[in-house]
Chain A
Amino acid sequence: MKKIKKIEIDTSKCTGCRTCELVCSAFHYEPKYSLVNPTRSRIRVFFDEENDLYVPVIAGPYVEAECDGRKAYTIKGEKYDECCFCPVSCPSRDLFKEPDSGLPLKCDMCGEPPPPEGPLCVAWCLDDALTYVEREEEEEEEEEEKADEKESAIEYLIKKYGLEEIRDILDRKSKL
């Protein structure tokens, strides 16, 4: 069983106030809350007010390469580049990168342990456009992956330091 944490987005409830951007950027800085800068935020609201489009996008994974085959969407008669809604921090755009260092940003659900009020973008969104969902789920495949991960980590150590040395360490550890 694995705990799945997720922020669900209901675009129909978004009022476009961008409070989530501000509070996210304030939280993820040391010392906490000592600055505000939406371009440091791990959530951005893409909006096109002339077409009633309000889409909060949460920073996802970092990718090294720009994607190919970018799609264009037509919503309510207006064309939108897929880039607008993409959560990925990629070389082709500034979104989800620290403005000064250029390092990619990724949502961490406000880290471990999370703030008592839950992820801040959700806590500060009074209109429930963002909701925090936690649920237990069977995730067998991932368990197997984890086992693979451990095995390959040990293989790596053996390769680096030799089987003898690693076995000695493991013996010592098992006697503790």
Chain B
Amino acid sequence: MIANYGYKDGSGEYYISIDTDKCISCEAGRACLTACPKGMFESMVDDYDDEVVCIKAEFRRNLAYDCAGCKPSTGRAALPCMTACTPAAIKHSW
């Protein structure tokens, strides 16, 4: 399942997608949970009883601002969450 967390508003689309099929059998030991400097990721059991990672509810409507620290307008490095996720389950839409 592809779970998209985020929103679209007048300034653009801000979604973090998590491919839960890759996430279930995480080979990276859920490294995303600690890699995000804002601690935006958390582990949960989804509706189909699989343990997966999701974005915490309090961050879902503020992604443009909460992710801004990792996305400077110039000299942007690889995102910590995507780097930590070796199964490549995490994607950002912007």
Partners in one complex: no
